[in-house]
Structure 1
Amino acid sequence: MAYSLGSRAESDLEFSASELTGALGDSVTVLPLLIALAATTSVSLPHVLIGFGVFQIVWGVYYGLPLSVEPMKALVGLAIVGALSYAELAAAGLFAGGVLLAVGRLGLVGRLQRVVGEPVIRGVQFAVALLLFEAAVDLSLGNPPVAAAGLAVVGLFALVGYRQASVLAVLGLGGVAAVATTGVPTPTAPELTVFPAGTPTVTSAALEGTVAQLGMTVGNAAIATALLCGDLYDRDVSADALSTSMGATCLTAIPLGGIPMCHGSGGLAGKYAFGARTGGANVLLGIGYLALALVATGAVLAAFPTAVLGVLLVVVALELGKAAFDPVSGSRSLALVVAVGVVGLVVNVGAAFVLGAVAFPLLVRRSETGSRPAQ
């Protein structure tokens, strides 16, 4: 049975079994990243979960669509692998939020995308995927038998056609193992305070991460998501509106202990694939995040097997790497994606982004020269 709110023939908010399963389509990459981030930095997981819960509900109700609310993967990935501290992550998120709010209000998202170049954005995605894979290997080596068991669960789910759900299954098993060690936690409301995990710190690494993230966010979270809203839901949502809402999210959530958040085409497609058709999926998922925030204690997190996190990060890295290459066409664009990714792994993502930004216009000019007919 589906319960609807609203007066339109097809409500903007429905609460049904398909909306509930659709909500899971956005959590398969969010929860592993959040737990990995909390395990490797000083971030307060309960405060982060509250941020996700609140803004899932806010944007689901506002847009009437199951929009994704997910971590800014470049920044969070860099924090997980130790390239950014939480204080630097918070500063980068505030910078990114301010820029997204400004360019969205001014209608500049499309122009920013053209300047950066899609192969550069995809290269940054590939770089973060490689860094996450490297971190996954390190975590898995801490307890190979547990990692092997986690991989076996992923493989089993994949064989029966539920590869995405395997992430939640492995996450659930890790949670059960942690609770078995610590006992069932008493629900506790997080303290409401400003910057509970530390004040933002502006560094060159934070600025480099911000620039790299903005390229990904403009392309994937604003432009690609706007296109999907039309393709999947026949709704006209502008990229500038999405940019504005992401900016508002970051500027509001981070001071209260949240992390940089964005919309995302992958999460939106995931929700659609699992059955979500309205903003009701966001409301249901938001309530779930808020409930989880009450029991996400430090003791449970400390007991969570890190080798399981390694397995989860492998899955996330593969998904991000696949997204980096799926839209790429042409050998030169492919070469640029790979080059940016490798430089990001070997040096840092900021240097990789600069390399790509310099190389992209040269690549375009060369392609235009090569396509002109001989005189």
Structure 2
Amino acid sequence: MAYSPRLWNASGLEFSTAELTGALGDSVTVLPLLVALAATTSVSLPHVLVGFGVFQIVWGLYYGMPLSVEPMKALIGLAIVGSLSYPELAAAGLLAGGVLLALGNLGLVGRIQTVVGEPVIRGVQFAVALLLLEAAVGLSSGSLPTAVAGLAVVGMLAVVGYRQVSVLLVLGLGGSVAVVTAGLPAPQMPAPVLFPAGTPSLSGAALEGTVAQLGMTVGNAAIATALLCGDLYDRNVSPDTLSTSMGVTCLAAIPIGGIPMCHGSGGLAGKYAFGARTGGANIILGVGYLALALVATGALLAAFPLSILGVLLVVVALELARAAVSPVDGHRGIAVVVGVGIVGVAVNVGVAFVLGTVAFWFVSQRE
């Protein structure tokens, strides 16, 4: 029987050092993507941070454990590299939210993965990783010495086992440069405006991105996360329940300036690895995001060094690529992953997803 979380399940919340470090571990992959998105699109970073802050707190209380709230990486990656405008991103997020809400309520989440196949989903991840790596090179080219120095710091700390710390250090360095350049602004609450960065616009590119994202979301954010809830926290959470909560998140957050968000097995595992055991980590992180929203002005963002941003995207891209390739077994599965990734970069992710699904079906029939 699937676990049905009790609404506002605040019992057992802890606010310890372990919960704090777990919260910071989850922010490592989120903040670089948010800063990159805000630097390359018309998105309002303060409104995005409010969305993340609110839903970190909401789902921490609802599930009573440190469930992750992450950007939908396929859609966000496509927006960062210029394949989607913010209005298209918002439309894709609303569409994905509606589909996830419907799938969760109809109990259809598990069936999708059996049709698509894990190597295809991993291939989409690999394609987004390659696109982010391409964007990172472009951002870093403006100041190669700074980028090389940043990569050296990340590499050295990663070798000795402090990769998460290295990312926070580089992010903090870029933020410090921005504060020195633009000054620390007075705290200001983002204005409550409907679609502050532009009215959603559904296009062919948005539809293709949505299809690719849903494949990733069903596999990683619903099914894999549900399995981890049992493995790490001994909680029987249904993937359909997770799909429903992700649908609610997108449909509620995007109209107030948020971006497409999901749960994720990587974020949940990261929180656990760094000590988080309760929803207290979500409360801490949510309050942190809300505090950042008060000072994340356009001037401060414009002063953030693009070369440092490139370094952060390299780290995110490599982590995403590793997560895409490492779980896949067999030469044929790896071939599908790499093939989908290459087609995604050469053509687009939507076409790669469709062709990969067909290729995986043929490969499966021959086994």
TM superposition score normalised by structure 2: 0.96
- Structure 2 partner of 1:145: 145
- Structure 2 partner of 1:26: 26
Provide the secondary structure at the position in 1 that maps to 2:222. helix
Does the 8 A contact of 1:222 with 1:239 survive in 2? yes
Looking at structure 2, the residues matched to 225 and 159 of structure 1 have their Cα atoms a distance apart, in angstroms, of: 28
CA deviation profile, 1:4-52 (whole Å, cap 9, x unmatched): xx9xxx9531110000001011100000000000000000000000000
- Map residues 320-359 of structure 1 onto 2, 5 A cutoff: 320-359=320-359
Provide the secondary structure at the position in 2 that maps to 1:13. coil
- Return the letter of the residue paired with 1:84: L
Q: Does 1:78 align with 2:78?
A: yes
Looking at structure 1, the residues matched to 35 and 163 of structure 2 have their Cα atoms a distance apart, in angstroms, of: 20
- Unaligned regions of 5+ residues in structure 1, if any? 1-5, 368-375
- Structure 2 partner of 1:309: 309
Looking at structure 2, the residues matched to 222 and 290 of structure 1 have their Cα atoms a distance apart, in angstroms, of: 26
Q: Provide the aligned C-alpha RMSD in A.
A: 1.1
- Unaligned regions of 5+ residues in structure 2, if any? 1-5
Q: Does 1:133 align with 2:133?
A: yes
Provide the secondary structure at the position in 1 that maps to 2:207. helix
Percent of aligned positions with the same letter in both sequences?
Answer: 78
Cα shift at 1:237: 0.6
Matched length = 359
- Structure 2 partner of 1:175: 175
Looking at structure 1, the residues matched to 82 and 298 of structure 2 have their Cα atoms a distance apart, in angstroms, of: 20
Cα shift at 1:165: 1.6
Q: Does 1:67 align with 2:67?
A: yes
Provide the secondary structure at the position in 2 that maps to 1:141. helix
- Return the letter of the residue paired with 2:243: S
TM superposition score normalised by structure 1: 0.94
- Return the letter of the residue paired with 1:299: A
- Structure 2 partner of 1:242: 242
- Structure 2 partner of 1:232: 232
- Structure 2 partner of 1:118: 118
Looking at structure 1, the residues matched to 151 and 360 of structure 2 have their Cα atoms a distance apart, in angstroms, of: 38
Does the 8 A contact of 1:11 with 1:278 survive in 2? no
- Return the letter of the residue paired with 1:32: P
Looking at structure 1, the residues matched to 155 and 212 of structure 2 have their Cα atoms a distance apart, in angstroms, of: 33
Runs of 4+ in structure 1 off by over 4 angstroms are none
Looking at structure 2, the residues matched to 31 and 142 of structure 1 have their Cα atoms a distance apart, in angstroms, of: 22
- Structure 2 partner of 1:267: 267
- Structure 2 partner of 1:106: 106
Looking at structure 1, the residues matched to 274 and 182 of structure 2 have their Cα atoms a distance apart, in angstroms, of: 33
Does the 8 A contact of 1:78 with 1:128 survive in 2? yes
Higher alpha-carbon deviation: 194-203 or 156-165: 156-165
CA deviation profile, 1:321-374 (whole Å, cap 9, x unmatched): 00101110111111111100000011110110110111121111111xxxxxxx
Higher alpha-carbon deviation: 283-292 or 349-358: 349-358
CA deviation profile, 1:91-124 (whole Å, cap 9, x unmatched): 0000000000000011000011111111110000
Does the 8 A contact of 1:12 with 1:65 survive in 2? no
Looking at structure 2, the residues matched to 12 and 36 of structure 1 have their Cα atoms a distance apart, in angstroms, of: 36
- Return the letter of the residue paired with 2:341: G
- Return the letter of the residue paired with 2:298: G
Looking at structure 2, the residues matched to 331 and 296 of structure 1 have their Cα atoms a distance apart, in angstroms, of: 46
Cα shift at 1:155: 2.1
Looking at structure 2, the residues matched to 43 and 84 of structure 1 have their Cα atoms a distance apart, in angstroms, of: 12
Q: Does 1:295 align with 2:295?
A: yes
Looking at structure 2, the residues matched to 229 and 110 of structure 1 have their Cα atoms a distance apart, in angstroms, of: 16
Looking at structure 2, the residues matched to 337 and 153 of structure 1 have their Cα atoms a distance apart, in angstroms, of: 30
- Return the letter of the residue paired with 1:109: V
Does the 8 A contact of 1:129 with 1:321 survive in 2? yes
Provide the secondary structure at the position in 2 that maps to 1:156. helix
- Structure 2 partner of 1:45: 45
- Map residues 154-169 of structure 1 onto 2, 5 A cutoff: 154-169=154-169
